[in-house]
Structure formats: structure tokens, C-alpha cells
Chains A and B, each alone.
Chain A
Amino acid sequence: MLKKMLIGTAVLASCLTAQMAVADTSDKRIALSNNYAGNSWRQAMLDSWEKVAGAAAADGVVAEAPAFTTAENQVTEQAAQIQNLILEGYDAIVINAASPDALNGAVKQACDAGIVVVSFDGIVTEPCAYRIAVDFHAMGKLEVEYLATRMDGGNLLEIRGLAGVFVDDEISAGIHEGVAENPQFEIVGSVHGDWAQDVAQKAVAGVLPSLPEIAAVVTQGGDGYGAAQAFAAAGRPTPLIVMGNRYDEMLWWKEQKDANGYETMSVSIAPGVGTLAFWVAQMILDGKDVPQDLTVPFLQITQDTLEDSLATTQPGGVANVEYSLEDAQGVVDGS
């Protein structure tokens, strides 16, 4: 673990030295405005930010890059926070937003004050802001396409996320499109697991008795282990459950793999996407040409990469990649 971190820091340091020659952002200040910290994904996101942005500040790439998190996950609170950041004179604000449109007023104010605004994960629709979005639709579709390579067809149970959130609608739409293109599959049940293991367990345990045999479970991440628990508690055969890169999910998968050769795949967004947003903000401040809308690749774990991912993931965390300036350059060039 320590060795890994040292190598990581060394790699990071080397790409920093490589880029310092051109950087004239050493007096710039970048703030992270984050709306929520109460789950393992967000914790990993903040850790990654601290590691990468903190190192960048220590090396003089930027003057400082603090992270601010609101207590209540509320739009009004985050809007007030952004206004404070404007007053404090930050040069760029990186936002994981509580709402795609309700923060637009505050974001516009920031743009008008000459501040670079980069939103990621929870993006904002205000045109002046930059967006680093995930193609959640493709992620949902990928799950069904993977299932089509693994089985001849069958009944699917869909575990959705938090009702009313854009991400949930997108992933679900992708899954349904995948099923429409692969009519050998049928979704026989759909529950909301709120991306939380215990909520998913409860919801699945409730509907399971009334459902026919389930061949596979399509998920949105954070809910796979709970689904596995519910199937085990009901004494039903364990179906193929698509996982979402959480440590507990991967650990369960590994146990099953060792015990009976269980095979599945896992897909989600790396919490390190925040560090990608950091570098994009830095590049914009550096005068680079960056398109307004960027797409970040998702992180997929397969039967072969499971052990490696498990080894590099903290217990209780999420499989992660932290981005370097070069990675950010690659994403910008690729779009």
C-alpha cells in the first residue's frame, strides 16, 4: 500500500516537474465546492482531491486548492457557499453540484466575476460553466450488453438509484435500451436501492418472494452486495449480479470467485474524477483551449482485474483512479 502510494507520488511528481516549465498558474487559487460527504464514494473523492490538488499546491503549480463541503446537501446552502467563494476571490471553482439547474444563478455570478467554473459528476447546466460528465446512459447499456455475452437470456431484476435524480434516470434508460436491443432479456422487477447497500437489501428482500427465477441483477453501484445478501437470506440461488466497484462488492465477488468460480463484471465512476476536474480548471487558467463539455470514461473491472483492483482499494472505499495533468490533456484532446 505504502509502496504503491510512493510510486504514485513519484509518478505525480515527475509529471508535475515536466509541466512546471510552462505553468504560470502558481498564483492561482482553485476551490472545490462539494455538496455532500456522507458516503464512501464522496469520501474517496475528497481524499483524492486532497492528495492530488494538495500536492499541486505544495509543488507550486497553484497557490492553493482547498475543498469545501456543505453540511446539509442543499441547493441554497451550496449557492451561498459559491457566493462566499466568489467574494474570497478564487480564480476557479470546481463544483460537484446538488442540482443541475438550481445553482445556475450563483454559477453565472461567478462567471461574471471572471471565475472559471468547472462542474463534474453533479454537473450544472449554466452555459458559461465547463462540464465533465459521465455517459451514464452508455454505462447502463454496457451492463446488458455484458449479460448478452454471458447467458442466453432470462429474467432481470433492476436495482435503481435515488428516485428523481438525473443519474438514476440515465442509467435506467440505458439499461432499458439495452434490454430493447436484446429481447431475450426481460426486466421482471424494479426497485429503488438508493445506491446504498442496506436500502437495496431491504427493497430486494421485499419483492423477491413474488418474483420468478432471476437470471441476473442489473445495478447502479453501491447496491450489489445488498442484493447478494437478500438473495442469500431468501435461500434463492445467487444470480449474476453486476457490481459497482465498491470494496464490499468486490470482496464478496472475490469470495464467490474463489469458492465457486463466480463470474461477473463491475462498472462505476472513479471518485478521482474530481482530480480530473482540478486539472481541467488548471489548464483553463493556464490559457489552454478546453471544450465546454467533456466526457469522462468509466472504470470497469473484469474477472481478470478484480484482484488488482481489490488490492489497491481501501477497505470501505471505491475502486479509484487519480488523474494526472497528462490524463486530463488526453481527455481534452480526445473529445
Chain B
Amino acid sequence: MTAFKTLSEKPWIWSFLGMIAIWAATAIYTGGKGSADVITAALSFATFTAIVGVGQMFVIATGPGNVDLSIPSTIALSGAVAMKVMDGSNAMLPVGAAASLGCGLAVGVLNYLLIRVLRIPPIIATLSSSFLILSTAIAYGRGLKIKPPPLLAEFTTAQVWGLPVLALFFAVFAFGMSVVLNRTIYGRSVLAIGQNMRAARLAGIKVERTRFLTYALSAVLAATCGFLLAGFSGGASLNMGQEYLLGSIAVVVIGGTSVAGGKANLPGILGASMFMFLLVTMLNTFGASAGVRLVMTGLIIVAVITIAGGEDAQS
């Protein structure tokens, strides 16, 4: 009983429960056909959502109004640059990865400068930088589709015992980031700033350095996602980041991170990313029409957030 109580107080538990419920509903509908394969597919795609979700979580945790809207365009730019630099050659893989990370870093610096030097609110700053970034990607690649190096394609699609290798790597990374969030000065600073920036500054926390690191982290993770996604789906395209705009925010919120900042939850992002993929799969499997599908998606997300948030309010 106490175990149940402790568990139900964890804000991340609800995204996992939602995920299991939806998977079970799909399995019942199909009579269990292919249910294990669905999990494999979900793990593959959820990894990409979760990578950008982690970055978005740190940004959102730094307080109200902090959100990174430049993630989709960073994904597009990083993918395009990396694919063009590597031009399908395995030998150029490290160079491509470096170019991709460089893109991410540049975007992070740009975002932070807009916010800090020009004092533009983060939402507007990252929105305007996203136009600049996407325009750069358009001018640079013209929608160019170059195949990824075979090694990258193999790595991003590889599986061991039905588990995507990429998901396993990400699990290790997520554990590391969880430690960073909860056990390091940087992670604690992010949460302190999110709770009250003024108090954090008075307490001697290096607010600006922390904010800079946070926006840089988000952009670098978006760039990494673009690099891997281009490898996974056989090349970069201009609109490949599009669905990660709201997707990244949704998994953070469903995962139990407070939109008001100051409270972050990493395990929830993993569950929420799976949840979002399985939700679309379930509605596709049911053959629901587009209208019904959108209404259902909205209702189910609201339901999960309400249940999770309701518990939160009582505690």
C-alpha cells in the first residue's frame, strides 16, 4: 500500500500508465497481432522525440515563458548540413557529427544572445531565430536529399533482441541527464531559477551562465536529433523537424514537468514519448477518421495531464 502511494505520487507514473493502457487497447483490438513489434517501432521513434524532449525540459524548467521554438528548424539545419558534409561517406562520419554539433552550438549561442543582449522574450527570440535557421537550411540545402553514410544508417536502425540500439544508448544518456538534473550544481541551479529567478540570483547562483548552458543544451540535442533522424529515415528533408515543435513540449508536460518551471521530471519524458507514438498508432489501427483522431488525441492528452496534475495538487 505504501509502495503504491509512493509510486502514485511520482508525477512520471501517469505517462507510463497511459502508455500501457493505450498499448493494451491496441493489442486487444488487433487480438495481440504484432503487439511486440509495435513496441519496437515505438521505441525507435520515441527516442527521437525524447532526445529533443530532454532539451526542451531543461528550458521549460528555467521558468515561465521559457520555451525553445527553434527545435524544428535546428533539426532541419543540422540534418541538411551533416548529410551534405558527409555526402554518403563513412569516413566523413566524425566530420559530419562535428558539423551537426557545431550547428547546434551556433543556434544555442544565437538564441541566448537574442534573449540576453537584445532582451527579447524567449518565445519570440526562439521563434524569430527559427525563421533565420530554416532560411539558412533552405538556402544551404535547397531541400537536398543526400543519402546518409551506410554506417550511420545501420547504426540508427540496428536492433538487438528486438530493442533498437539507439534506444539503449539513449537510456544510458537519459540516466546521465537525470543525475545532472538532480545531483549537479547546474541541474539544481536550473530548478532554482525556475522557482524564482530573483531569489536564485540573490542566493549567488550564476543565473546567466545557467540559462546560456540550458539553451545551448537544447539546441545541441535538437541538432543531435536531426543528425540521427536523417540517418534513420534515409536523408534530411526541410520539414523533418516540423512535428517536434509541439511534440517536444507535449512530452515534457505529459511527463510531469511543470510548465511554470522549477520542477522537472526526466523519466516522464520517456513514457510520454512512447505514449504519444502509441496514441497515434492506436487511432490509426482503429481506423478512426481524421476528425475523430484529432478530437481523441486532444481528449486523451487532457485526461492524462488532468489525472497527473490532480494528484499533484493534493500532495
Contact = CB atoms under 8 A, between A and B. Distances in A.
Interface of A: 37-40, 43, 71, 160, 163-164, 189-192, 194, 196-199, 201-203, 205-211, 225-226, 229, 233-234, 247-248, 314-317
Interface stretch (B203-211, B229-237, B252-260): B229-237
Given A206-B277, A209-B38, A164 B237 contact: no
Contacts of B134: 38
B8 interface: no
B238 A201 contact: no
A203 B233 contact: no
Interface string B208-240: 000000000000000000000100011101111
A315 B146 contact: yes
Contacts of A202: 45, 277, 280
19 contacts: A38-B239, A38-B242, A43-B143, A160-B290, A163-B294, A190-B287, A191-B284, A196-B240, A197-B233, A197-B237, A198-B229, A206-B281, A206-B285, A209-B37, A210-B30, A210-B285, A248-B145, A248-B234, A315-B145
A317 B143 contact: yes
A39 B293 contact: no
Nearest to A207: B284
Given A205-B44, A229-B233, A210 B26 contact: yes
B142 interface: yes
Contacts of A225: 234
B176 to A, nearest CB: 26
8 interchain residue pairs of minimum CB distance: A209-B34, A206-B281, A163-B290, A209-B37, A40-B143, A316-B144, A210-B30, A316-B145
Q: Which of B38, B44, B235 has the most CB of A within 10 A?
A: B235
Given A198-B229, A201-B233, A225-B234, A206 B144 contact: no
B238 A38 contact: yes
B158 to A, nearest CB: 11
B41 interface: yes
Given A197-B233, A209-B34, A316 B142 contact: yes
Contacts of A198: 229, 233, 237, 240
A265 B282 CA distance: 31
Interface in B135-155: 138, 141-146
A196 B143 contact: no
A244 to B, nearest CB: 14
Contacts of A201: 233
A205 B284 CA distance: 11
A130 B240 CA distance: 34
Interface of B: 26, 29-30, 33-38, 41-42, 44-45, 131, 134, 138, 141-146, 157, 229, 233-235, 237-240, 242-243, 277-278, 280-281, 284-285, 287, 290-291, 293-294
A207 B281 contact: yes
A190 B289 CA distance: 9
B277 A316 contact: no
Given A202-B280, A208-B41, 19 more contacts: A39-B237, A43-B138, A189-B287, A192-B284, A192-B293, A196-B240, A197-B234, A198-B233, A206-B41, A210-B26, A210-B38, A226-B233, A248-B234, A315-B144, A316-B141, A316-B144, A316-B146, A317-B142, A317-B143
Contacts, number: 116
Contacts of A314: 142
B294 to A, nearest CB: 7
Nearest to A235: B37
Nearest to B235: A248
B239 A206 contact: no
A27 B62 CA distance: 57
Given A196-B237, A317-B143, A210 B294 contact: no
Nearest to A318: B143
B142 A43 contact: yes
B233 to A, nearest CB: 5
Nearest to A210: B30
A38 B26 CA distance: 34
A36 to B, nearest CB: 10
B234 A196 contact: no
Nearest to B229: A198
Nearest to A233: B157
A317 to B, nearest CB: 7
A226 B232 CA distance: 11
Contacts of A209: 33-38, 41
Contacts of A234: 37, 41
B245 to A, nearest CB: 12
Contacts of A207: 281, 284-285
A203 B238 contact: no
Contacts of A71: 131
Contacts of A163: 290-291, 293-294
Contacts of A248: 145, 234-235
Nearest to B79: A198
